[in-house]
Amino acid sequence: MAADSFLSTAQVVCPPELLDRASGKVAAVTAVVGSDHVIALESVRQAQQAGLITPILIGSRARIEAAAQEIDWDVSGFEVVEAKSETAAAEAGAQLASSGAVAMVMKGHVHSDTFMRPLLAKDGGIRGKGRLSHVFHMTVSGSNQSVMLTDCALNVVPNVKTRIAIVENVVTLAHKLDIENPRVALLAASESVSTAMPVTGECRKIAEHFESARRSAEIFGPLAFDNVVSTDAAKMKGIDHPVAGRADVVVVPNIETGNALFKMMVYFMGACAAGIVLGGKVPILLTSRADPPQARLASVALGAISAQ
């Protein structure tokens, strides 16, 4: 059997509910780092025409104007910040975010490490008192359900303290999405605590922390993946909890698990992955050059909701 026989042929669709929730409000002023490329600028145009953002275009003015001409878009009414290199563009975006001049920062046609470095800097970046973490809002065409995965892209091997902060960030986002009491599953390989699998004990500690934290959320774990997504599987194992089989959020134990999980949903299910970084002064839209336009637009919508 060919490996690509597993791949989904479904069309990726930007979830209408995200667009509906983000629209109708003041467009978020957004620094677009690396606007001087057709793919990046087309994503900016879609977001601007959807009423989600007012862009500040950062990059080579000549290349921005050439790319705009190629896609037949008049950008003369938008502010352009001249930057002669990726590093200069990233530093300009971070400065705008740090100063409060923009509500979001969006990655355009630049390398991720170059884009993130000045944003994560202790001086002049967007760090606040909290911990930065990444969230994917995952949807599948034809379904009105969604699930958020965190952290799949930023924190590599988060300890208990870091995962508590990750939960805090995603619960705040869930509330902005009008999920009043989000069900948060702490993922492990087993629902039983075992010294052979330290992550299970860590999940128990995180759940116990939130039992006394009085957050408007149900936070439970450890849970193996079948018990996160299937009420039948949870019942068969005697797990009776509101989160079991009904999770709104899945908190992964490490970046490898999260990266594999979200990519399996994208490639096997045709899921739309809207991704943002939370916990800083402003949301960061950390899109990939491999992302389809629908996922880029969904990321902007999610960022706009978070920024409100």
Q: Which tokens is 64 given? A: 């921005």
Contact 47, 298 (CB under 8 A): no
Contact 9, 36 (CB under 8 A): no
Are residues 139 and 270 located together in one domain of the fold? Answer: yes
Are residues 166 and 90 located together in one domain of the fold? Answer: no
Are residues 96 and 178 located together in one domain of the fold? Answer: no
Are residues 149 and 118 located together in one domain of the fold? Answer: no
Contact 148, 173 (CB under 8 A): yes
Determine which helix (DSSP H) or strand (DSSP E) holds 162, and give its type and residue range. helix 160-176
Res 73: pLDDT: 96
Q: Which domain holds residue 18?
A: 1-128+280-308
Q: Is 6 helix (H, G, I), strand (E, B) or coil?
A: helix
Relative orientation angle of helices 112-120 and 86-99, to the nearest 10 degrees: 40
Burial class (CB in 10 A: 0-12, 13-18, 19+), 212: exposed
Quote the Cα angle for 100-165-119, to 5°: 35
CA distance 199 to 142: 34
Domain count, the chain: 2
Res 83: pLDDT: 95
CATH number assigned to the domain comprising residue 181: 3.40.718.10
Are residues 101 and 163 located together in one domain of the fold? Answer: no
CA 62 → CA 69, 82, 94, distances in Å? 11, 9, 22
> What residues are paired with 180 via a beta bridge?
none
Question: One digit per residue, pLDDT tens: the chain, 308 residues?
Answer: 456 778 888 888 899 999 999 987 789 999 999 999 998 899 999 999 999 999 999 999 999 999 999 999 999 999 999 999 999 999 999 999 999 999 999 999 999 999 999 999 888 888 888 899 999 999 998 888 899 999 999 999 999 999 999 999 999 999 999 999 999 999 999 999 999 999 999 999 999 999 987 779 999 999 999 999 999 999 999 999 999 999 999 999 999 999 999 999 999 999 999 999 999 999 999 887 778 889 999 999 999 999 98
Are residues 18 and 89 located together in one domain of the fold? Answer: yes
Res 3: pLDDT: 60
Are residues 161 and 294 located together in one domain of the fold? Answer: no
Are residues 48 and 173 located together in one domain of the fold? Answer: no
Are residues 142 and 197 located together in one domain of the fold? Answer: yes
DSSP label of 5: G
Are residues 194 and 178 located together in one domain of the fold? Answer: yes
Nearest to residue 45, comparing CAs of 76, 26, 70, 71? 71
> What residues are paired with 24 via a beta bridge?
none
Reported in sequence order, the residue ranges of the chain that DSSP labels E, i.e. its strands, are 28-33, 53-59, 79-82, 104-107, 133-139, 146-150, 183-187, 218-223, 249-251, 272-278, 284-285
